[in-house]
Amino acid sequence: MKTFIAGIAAGLIAATGAGADGHDSYPDRPVMLMVSYGAGGATDFQARIVTMTAGNEDALGMPIAIVNRPGAGGRVGWNWLATQAEADGYTLGAYNVPHFIAQSIEGGVSYSADDFEPIANWGADPAVFVVAADSEFDSMEDVIAFAEANPGGLTFSGAGLFVGHHIAALQLEKAAGVELAYIPNNSGGAGAMRAVIAGEVMGGVNNLSDAFRAQEAGTVKILGVFDTERSDFLPDVPTMQEQGYEIDDASVNYRGVMVPAGTPQPIIDRLAEIVPAMFENARVQSRMEAGGSPMEIMTRDEVQQMWSDRQETLEALLADL
């Protein structure tokens, strides 16, 4: 309903020509946040939670309406944001790193990291390696031993190509020096998880938050975390580095808010100040924790640094493909 009201309000203001010339009154109407994944996905779900307090006086003072533009692993939404969205500060977008950076390196899309200006980061969801609960694999060592005995014969699922899971898969292949059969799933992380539980594939790379839930449900075992340190949700699961594979945090799925390049600088500065504070809200934090969604709040400067680091790592990693 919010989106409709936002749409109507936006239309009315455009019709009466009451657009603000100065940026002092920003925002004077509801703001739209484009999510390039469908309703119900992890990004959409988290975006709805972290923006729910936007209407508070100490935040933007105006609600943020979520608009979904799903398709092609996020490419459709980000293409739209880079080329067609108005850079007036009323159109924000949710980003997923490394997805959009990897896609822009792969090519075939009309955006790169330079087309967007980061505002703030709200979450970091590392990839993990999962196997079905009844699998014979109990550690990454078992998995790699099988892969060495059967080159290209170890099937494991992930959410798609050029997303965090795929990056993690490439890193694993490189670090362990084995050939694996990565099976991208057409229904995202949920579909990839289903394939693991149903035994269609021998293992899978998936989001820590979803894998944590599946482990609670008793359907999977988590063998390793693709991050530099252990997660608070899974203190018993070792990282890949601890198990002897040189894998850094390049595949960690960072989620946050950005705007199209060309948005007026005063507005970017104002958003960069308010939005991270909005994520700190206690209600937001408790809802995110209840949903098993790991938060990591980063300011604009930190995100800029993270983006350029990723750009470098991913260019090197994807150059071998």
Partner 1 sequence: MDFLFYMGDVFAPVSFALLLFGTVFGLILGATPGLSPTMTVALMIPFTFRLEPQQGLILLGAAYTSTVAGGAVSAILLKIPGAPANIATTLDGHAMAKNGEGARALQLSFLASAVGGVFGVMLLIFLTPVLAGWALAFGPSELFWLAILGVTVIGTLDSSSVVKGLLSGCIGLWLATIGFDDIMGAQRFIFHDAVAGGINVIPALIGLFAIPQVIAMFARGRTDPGAEVIAVRRHPIGSALRELLGRKAPLAIGTAIGSVIGLIPGVGGQIAGLVAYDQSKKFSRESSKFGTGHPEGIIAAESANNAMVGPSLVPLLTLSIPGSPTAAVLLGGLLIHGIFPGPQLFTNYPQVVWPFINSMLVGQVLMCMFGLLIAGLAAKVAKVPHGVMAAVVLGLAVFGSYSVQHSMGDVYVMATLGIGMYFLERFGFSAAPLVLGLILGPIAEANFIQGSMIANATVGVWNYFFTGWMNWVLIAIVAGSVGYSAWMEVRSRRYTSKEEMLA
Q: Which residues contact partner 1 (rule: CB under 8 A)? A: 1-4, 7, 38-41, 44-45, 48-49, 52, 67-73, 75-76, 79-80, 83-84, 103, 106, 108, 152-155, 160-162, 181, 183-187, 190-191, 193-195, 197-201, 213-214, 216-219, 287, 289-293
Type of residue numbered 210: D
Residue 198: CB minimum distance to partner 1, A: 4
Residue 53: CB minimum distance to partner 1, A: 10
- 136 vs 216, beta carbon nearer partner 1: 216
Question: Between β-strands 181-184 and 155-158, what pairing exists: parallel, antiparallel or unpaired?
Answer: parallel
Residue 191: CB minimum distance to partner 1, A: 7
- 196 vs 306, beta carbon nearer partner 1: 196
- 103 vs 241, beta carbon nearer partner 1: 103
Sign of the alpha-carbon torsion through 241, 243, 246, 249: negative
Residue 205: CB minimum distance to partner 1, A: 15
- 209 vs 241, beta carbon nearer partner 1: 209
- 33 vs 250, beta carbon nearer partner 1: 33
Q: Which residues of 140-176 are buried (b: 16+ CB within 10 A; e: fewer)?
A: beebbebbeeeeeebebbbbbebbbbbbbbbbbeebb
Residue 201: CB minimum distance to partner 1, A: 6
Contact 188, 40 (CB under 8 A): no
Residue 42: CB minimum distance to partner 1, A: 9
User: Could you give the CA distance from residue 258 to residue 248 in angstroms, rounded to a whole number?
Assistant: 25
- 212 vs 245, beta carbon nearer partner 1: 212
Peptide bond into 98 cis (omega under 30): yes
Q: Which residues of 5-31 are buried (b: 16+ CB within 10 A; e: fewer)?
A: ebeeebeebeeeeeeeeebeebbebbb
- 39 vs 316, beta carbon nearer partner 1: 39
Residue 206: CB minimum distance to partner 1, A: 11
Question: Between β-strands 91-97 and 31-35, what pairing exists: parallel, antiparallel or unpaired?
Answer: parallel
